A and B are shown apart, each in its own frame.
Chain A
């Protein structure tokens, strides 16, 4: 077993473009869940429409990268409006159920064969980020310990993390303003906010749009990083990963999503590496020897971590314990 290599791989994915994409998803979710108390279980849907907005614009309609990005962002706004309009006035359960269902329906529709002329159906869309990589000013890849990221990965890595930083600043500015105060009051008790003259529906909608668009930005960068979009990448568990990240790092904290994403990917990739190596060295019982066991055991670990964290340390690693001990 090569622990050094496993650690290296884990570290590599902890700071890679994928972790940054998940940080963006989690920042959006933080606006929803952390600050407004909206239980959005369909964040992956926002990611999907962002990615396909770009992919369809570029690969199907032949538009430029920039037009594609704008389409992806608008798609995020539209999805938020469509999701929010029927559900944000209803109880939280309805919202939770609708978000999870709509996100999955989007995946089914986008991957279906009748949609193939537009979305590529089960095959997805390819070569959608050529323009992005043509803009790459780097001449050498970034070196990290024993690893060197390729020139293109380095470029998408820099841009995605820069967007993470921007999103963090944007959200910080907003949640520290009176606007953010209204969101937090809705999280605590929406009737109290109403009794003080706040239009709760409107603020929930604004929060849904903001966090959703951040998810779409994540989707756009995800599509760019892989240069492809494929509907099967947008499985429901991605939303749950984003929750795990958020709760790991601490909901309603500024850097929680970033720290959470880094830790999450370090563990996720580390566990997979360990299981794979252990399989190779014949250290595992038969039941864990299949190829499924590698991905599945990492998912089981993450699910367990999500449960334990939300029960025993809901404030996350950096959350303020004093704040969370108070009964809402």
Chain B
């Protein structure tokens, strides 16, 4: 089953804003302005369920701002987006997370003075012991805590952090913190995981294992969006690529298509000023890719 979904993407058009067969997230007219500058200006974008979608773009393209908007960490000036049938515009960030849309941060937010295990346990949802009065009576929540602990240990094992579980998160290496942040996000049991530059600052030796973890998420049926600079990484694991430049989606398509897209190359290498941007992004329907299946 997990193998079939990526192929569903093969038949899609490669123009920005194309409709997806089974979107988990649909974004319409989202704009965020800082002063006179439009940091994000996404007309229409759909994110397919059960695949890995990469969000790429040059520095300052608005990728992180876009993440912040979708997850309720920033408020757009205009626009709406629907996640699993729920309108999420104006919903505070913690409720977004509870609905199953969980993000990580570009600068890792490991909770330094909490142990690795506490970091993990924090991710679990619906904890009775997190309410004020029930917290006082351990028997009321100790069983649930134990179950969460088992799940956390299982995840830590998968992410090779089990022997660190009693260390403070602040004592981990940069790469281990990235792993911890990802594992912690999984404790929320999300349906959509949004990873903001999961490979940034990670020791190259760890990159491969991180990539495997991301692929594994998809194979378990989760949807993944991740922001990344490194084109090799993007090509290796993503099923679909969305390109953002100056806040706008200038192209989307399968990795191979994007690699050869003029608009993308321009965006990365600097756009030539005699050509208007819309002209370069649209005429990209190269036949061979479409007929592959």
**A residues apposed to B, CB below 8 Å:** 170, 173-174, 177-182, 184-185, 187-189, 191-200, 206, 210, 322-324, 326-328
A196-B184, A197-B94, A199-B94 known; A185-B136 Cβ under 8 A:
no
Q: Are A189 and B111 in contact (CB under 8 A)?
A: yes
Q: Are A192 and B111 in contact (CB under 8 A)?
A: yes
Chain A hits for B159, CB < 8 A:
none
Smallest Cβ distance from A283 to chain B, in angstroms?
Answer: 46
Chain A hits for B135, CB < 8 A:
173-174, 177-180
Chain B hits for A327, CB < 8 A:
112, 170
Q: Are A181 and B122 in contact (CB under 8 A)?
A: yes
Complex Cα gap A198–B223 (Å): 22
Complex Cα gap A286–B156 (Å): 68
B28 within 8 A of A: no
Chain A hits for B170, CB < 8 A:
326-328
B7 within 8 A of A: no
A-B contact pairs, 24 of them (CB 8 A): A173-B135, A177-B138, A178-B141, A179-B130, A179-B131, A184-B111, A184-B113, A184-B114, A187-B113, A192-B105, A192-B109, A192-B111, A193-B122, A195-B102, A195-B103, A195-B105, A195-B185, A196-B184, A196-B187, A197-B95, A197-B102, A199-B94, A326-B113, A328-B113
B121 within 8 A of A: yes
The number of chain B residues touching the other chain, given as a range, is 35 or more
From the candidates B94, B130, B168, B187, name the one contacting A326 in the complex (CB within 8 A). Answer: B168
Which chain A residue has the least Cβ–Cβ distance from B130?
A: A178
A189-B109, A194-B94, A195-B104 known; A182-B188 Cβ under 8 A:
no
Closest 5 pairs between A and B when the two form their complex, measured CB to CB = A326-B170, A178-B129, A179-B135, A197-B97, A177-B135
From the candidates B94, B112, B138, name the one contacting A200 in the complex (CB within 8 A). Answer: B94
Complex Cα gap A322–B115 (Å): 12
Smallest Cβ distance from B121 to chain A, in angstroms?
Answer: 6
The winner among A187, A195, A328 for most chain B CB atoms within 10 A is: A195
Chain B hits for A173, CB < 8 A:
135-136, 138
Which chain A residue has the least Cβ–Cβ distance from B171?
A: A326
Complex Cα gap A173–B142 (Å): 13
Q: Are A191 and B109 in contact (CB under 8 A)?
A: yes
Chain A hits for B111, CB < 8 A:
184-185, 188-189, 192
B257 within 8 A of A: no
From the candidates A174, A179, A195, A326, name the one contacting B112 in the complex (CB within 8 A). Answer: A326
A178-B121, A178-B127, A191-B105 known; A206-B132 Cβ under 8 A:
yes
B208 within 8 A of A: no
Q: Are B138 and A195 in contact (CB under 8 A)?
A: no
Smallest Cβ distance from B96 to chain A, in angstroms?
Answer: 8
Chain A hits for B92, CB < 8 A:
194, 199
Known: A195-B104, A328-B112. 5 other contacts (CB 8 A): A184-B113, A194-B72, A195-B109, A196-B122, A328-B113
Q: Which of B126-165 contact A (CB under 8 A)?
A: 127-132, 135-136, 138, 141, 145
The winner among A184, A196, A200 for most chain B CB atoms within 10 A is: A196
Smallest Cβ distance from A305 to chain B, in angstroms?
Answer: 24
Complex Cα gap A210–B92 (Å): 24
Which chain A residue has the least Cβ–Cβ distance from B118?
A: A181
A196-B123, A327-B170 known; A177-B129 Cβ under 8 A:
yes
A182-B122, A195-B93 known; A188-B130 Cβ under 8 A:
no
Q: Are A185 and B122 in contact (CB under 8 A)?
A: yes
Chain A hits for B145, CB < 8 A:
178
Complex Cα gap A148–B159 (Å): 63
Complex Cα gap A197–B171 (Å): 25
From the candidates A174, A188, A210, name the one contacting B113 in the complex (CB within 8 A). Answer: A188
Which chain A residue has the least Cβ–Cβ distance from B126?
A: A197
Chain A hits for B122, CB < 8 A:
181-182, 185, 193, 196, 198
Q: Are B114 and A177 in contact (CB under 8 A)?
A: no
Complex Cα gap A270–B265 (Å): 75
Smallest Cβ distance from A279 to chain B, in angstroms?
Answer: 46
Chain B hits for A328, CB < 8 A:
112-113, 170
B191 within 8 A of A: no
